[in-house]
Structure 1
Amino acid sequence: MTCRMLLSALLPLALTACGKSESKADDMAGMDMSKEAGKPADKDAVVLSARQIADAGIETALPTVGGIAGAIELPGLIQGDPQGMQVVSATIGGRLVSLTRNLGQSVRQGDPMAIIESREAASLKAEVEAARARAGLAQSNLRREQRLFAERVSPEQDLIAARTAATEAGIALRLAQQQLGATGGGGGALNRIAMRSPISGQVIARPAVLGQTVDVNAELYRVANLKLVTVQISLPPADAGRVRPGLRVVVSAAGRKQDGRVTFVSPVLDENTRLVQLIAALSNAGGTWRVGEPVTAAIMLPSTGDRSVAVPSTAVQSVENRTVVFVRTATGFRALRVVTGRRNGDQVTITSGLAGTERVATTNSFTLKAELGKGGEMEM
C-alpha cells in the first residue's frame, strides 16, 4: 500500500521533468537552426541562374595553357610593293605631244601613256625602213641566184655570196627593230615614239606636262599595282632576334585591321637609326590601305611552349585590393584570387591561382564585380 502510494506521487513529477527536458531540447534545436540560417554566405560567391548569366551577356572560356603567343607592337608605314611599282620614263629625248593617262586611272601592261616627238625617233624609224629594204633586196638576189645555180648558169660561189648578204641584211634589220623597240616604238608618225606602261596598275604620279621638252630618262608617270602593299617596321635589335619570316602581323589604323605576314628581316642594322628593318606583305585587293599611311603593326610571336596559364585581360578584376578572376560554379560564379604576371596584348599570364581547367568569365566580368559588392545575389 505504501509503495503504491509512493509511485503515484512520483509519476507526475517524472512526467513534468521529461516535459521540461524535451522543451529545452526543442529550444536548443531551434536556436541552432536559427544560428545556421543566419550564417553569412560565401563573400566571394555570386549566385546566378543560367538565364541571368545569359541576360547579363557574361561569357566564359577556358584559360590558355602553354604560353602566351606574345605580340610586339610598333609603328609602321604602308609602302608599295617594290615589285609592283614602276616608273614610266622617257627612253628618248624630245617634246611631249600626247599624255594619255591622268592620276588615278588604270592602265594595262603595254598601253601607250605618252608620245614623244623627236629627230632621234625619226632616225631610228628611218633606219628600220632602210634595213627592211636592204633585207628585201638581199632576199630577192638570193632567190635569183638559187634559180640560176639550179639552171647551171651561175657558179656556186655567187650563190654563197648572195646567201651571206641576205643573212647580214636580216641581222641588220633585226638590230634596227630592236633599237626602235627599246625606245617603245609606235607613236604613229615617223618622228614619234610611244612610251608604254611596263606593268598593269594605277597611275599614282604624273610629273610630266604636255608640250614639255624632256631629256632621256626623265620621269613621265609612276604606275603602281596596289593589290599588294608592304608594311615597313623598325625593330630594336633585342626584339629582332625573336622575329622570323612567316610570322603573322596584325596591321591596324583608323578602325581597320588586317593580317599580313613577315617577308623580310634585315640581317644588318640601319646606319642612322641603329634599328633592324622588317618588311611585312599585306593584301590590298580592296584598296583598304594607302601608300605612305602610318599604321600600328603587332608582330605575333610564337607560343613559348611552356605550361603557363593565361586569360584575357577582360577576365581580370580588382576586388577589395585583391586581383581576382570569376570562376564558373554550379550556382553562378566565385571570385578566385590570382597572381598575375606579364601582359602581352590582350592576354595576361596567371602565375598562381588557376590550374587551367576552370571556366572563367571573359566578357562582362565587371558585372560580377558589381554584384559581389551588392551581396552576391542578382535581383530578378
Structure 2
Amino acid sequence: MINSLLRPFIPLRSFIIALIALAFFGYISFSLAVETEVNVAEPEKGEHRGRLLKDGGFVLELAIFETGVPPEFRVWIMKDGQPVKPEDVSLVVTLTRLGNVVDTINFKPQADFLRGDMDIYEPHSFVVTIKADYQGKKHQWQYDNFEGRTRIEPAVAEAMKIQTEIAGEATLVETIEAFGKLVPQADAERNISARFEGEITTVHVRLGQAVKAGDKLITLNSNESLKSFTINSPINGVVTSKAANPGEQSGGRTLISIVDTSKLTAELSVFPADRQRVAIGAETTLHVNGYEAVLTGRVNAIDTQLKANQASTVRVEIDNPVNALSAGQFITGDIDVARYTVPLAVKRIGLQAFRDFTVVYAKVGDEYEVRMLELGREAGEWVAVLGGLNPGTEYVTENSFIIKADIEKSGASHDH
C-alpha cells in the first residue's frame, strides 16, 4: 500500500529544497537539543519488557501489551522484591498528547496484573503521568514517551518551504489517461473555387495566412463577361492550401482551402478496458506537447467503430481563439470517469512512510508529529482517510520529506 501511494513526488524544485534543508539541519538539531536529548538512555525494563518505575521498595512495571488485542497498558507491581496483589493497588495513568489532548486510563485487576480500560492508539507519543496508591501511600512518576515528533522554528519551516493544509472534505476525481492528436473540426474546412471561369489576375493571400470572413482572396476576369470579380473568404480561418497564381485559368478546380482553427478537436484513443467508463459530457483535461497552458473540454462524441489497434476514438472540442494550437499536435488527455465527495482526505504529496505505516505529519504550533492513517480510495492528488486523523487537523503537504528526515535524525523510538 505504501509503495503504491508514495509515487515520485520529488521534482527538481524539491531536490533543490532538500539541499537547502541540509544547510538548516544543524540549526534544527540545536533547537531539538533544547527539547529532548537525541541519545536518551534506554529505560530499565522488567521481565514483561515494560518500563520499570521505582519509588524506594515500591516498583511498578508498565508495559504496552498488544499480542492478540489492541494495544493496552498492563501493570505488574512489586514491593521489596515481592509481588503485590493487583486488587490492593489503585492506579491511574494519564497520557498528554500533542495539543494537550488528555487520555485518562483506569485499571482493573486481572490475574496477576492491572489491565487498562482503553486502547492506546497510535502514535504512542505522549507525556505519561502515573499515580499509584498502595496501603495509604501515594506514588507518582512522569516521563516523556515521544515518537515521530520534532520541533522546527517557524522561520526555518518558512525557509524550507514547508507548507500545510487543513484536513477535511474533498472531491475525488478518478481519471483515465488517453493519448491522441489535435485535428480540425469536421465542418471547419472550406474549399473555394470560382463560380465563373476566368483568368486569375490577383491572389490576395498567401499560404498559412489568417483571414477573416469577407477578406479578399482572389480577383479574376470572367471569360464570358470580361468583367473583373473577386472571391471573398466565407469564414474566419487560415489558408491551408493555395493552387492559384496570376495568369492561370480557374479551370473549375479548388483554388484555395481555408480551415477555421478557432476550435479544434482532440481525438483520443481509449482502449476497451476503459471504454465503458467514458461518457458523453465527461470533463477532460488536455496537455498539448510544447504548450504550457492546461486545456479543458468535454467529451462530445465517441466512435462506435474500433480502430485497427482496437481503440475507440473519443472526441473533445477545445477553443483556440488566438491560433496558439495547430492541427497535428500530439496531446495527452485525462478523462473524468468518476467523481465523489469523501468526508476526510489528504493530499497524496504529504504522505510518507513511518515504520509499517503510511503517515502524514500533523502540525501543532511549531511541533510536528506523525499520524498513522487508515486509507481508502485514491484519485488524482487526493487519498481518502478512513481513520487515524481528525477532521480539521493541520498537516504538512509540500516538503513533508524534510519533516521525515529530521524525525529520523532525532532517533525518537517506539517504546513498548
TM-score class normalised by the smaller sequence: 0.5 to 0.7
For this pair of structures, how many residues does the alignment match?
276
For 1:44, give the aligned amino acid: G
After superposition, the C-alpha distances for 1:263-284 in whole angstroms (9 at most, x for unaligned) are 5132613353433322222222
**Change beyond 3 A, Cα 1:286–1:333:** farther
RMSD: 3.4
1:69 aligns with 2:173: yes
- Match in the other structure for 1:328: 363
Q: Which amino acid aligns with 1:360?
A: Y
Superposition pairs of residues 337-356 of structure 1, within 5 angstroms: 337-340=372-375, 343-350=378-385, 352-356=387-391
1:98 corresponds to: 202
After TM superposition, the structure 1 = structure 2 runs for residues 163-312 of structure 1, keeping only pairs within 5 Å, are 189-190=226-227, 193-216=229-252, 218-253=253-288, 254=290, 256-266=292-302, 268-305=304-341, 307=342, 309-312=344-347
One-letter code of the match for 1:194?
T
Q: Distance in 2 between matches of 1:311 and 1:83?
A: 45
Q: TM-score w.r.t. structure 2 length?
A: 0.57
- Asked if the contact 2:168/2:392 (under 8 Å) is kept, the reply is no
Amino acid at match of 2:211: V
Structure 2 Cα separation of the partners of residues 77 and 330 of structure 1: 50
Shift of 1:99: 1.6
- 1:54 counterpart SS class: helix
- How far did 1:341 drift? 5.2
For residues 271 and 203 of structure 1, what CA distance do their matches in structure 2 show?
30
Rg larger in structure: 1
- Whether 1:60 aligns to 2:164 is yes
1:65 and 1:73 mapped to 2: Cα distance?
Answer: 25
> Alpha carbons of 1:317 and 1:40: their partners in 2 closer, same or farther (altered >3 Å)?
same
Residue pair 1:244, 1:262 contacting (<8 A) in 2 also: no
Match of 1:142 in 2: none
Q: For residue 314 of structure 1, give the secondary structure of its aligned residue in structure 2.
A: helix
> Which TM-score applies when normalising by structure 1?
0.61
The answer to whether the 8 A contact 2:167-2:392 is kept is yes
Q: Tell me, yes or no, if the aligned pair for 2:208 and 2:238 is still in contact at 8 Å.
A: yes
Q: Does 1:113 align with 2:148?
A: no
**Matched position secondary structure for 2:349:** helix
Contact 1:233 1:278 in 2 (8 A): yes
Q: CA 1:55–1:80 in structure 2 vs 1: closer, same or farther (change >3 Å)?
A: same
Paired with 1:238 and 1:58, the residues of 2 have a C-alpha distance of: 40
Percent identity over the alignment is: 20
The residue matched to 2:207 in structure 1 has which SS? coil
Instruction: Compute the displacement of 1:368 (Å).
Output: 0.7
- How far the C-alpha of 1:238 sits from its partner, in A, is 4.4
Change over 3 Å in CA distance of 1:361–1:102 after alignment to 2? same
1:101–1:52: structure 2 CA closer, same or farther, 3 Å change rule?
same
What does residue 373 of structure 1 align with? Answer: 408
Higher relative contact order (CA 8 A, sep 6+): 1
Report the counterpart of residue 397 of structure 2 in structure 1: 362
Stretches of 4+ aligned residues off by more than 6 angstroms = none
Letter in 1 for 2:284: V
**CA shift at 1:213, angstroms?**
4.5
CA contact (8 A) 1:265 1:276 kept: no
Moved more, 198-207 or 341-350: 341-350
SS at the partner of 2:346?
strand
User: 1:260: Cα distance to partner?
Assistant: 2.2
Structure 2: runs of 5+ lacking an equivalent? 1-54, 60-128, 130-140
More helix by share: 1
SS in 1 for 2:182: strand
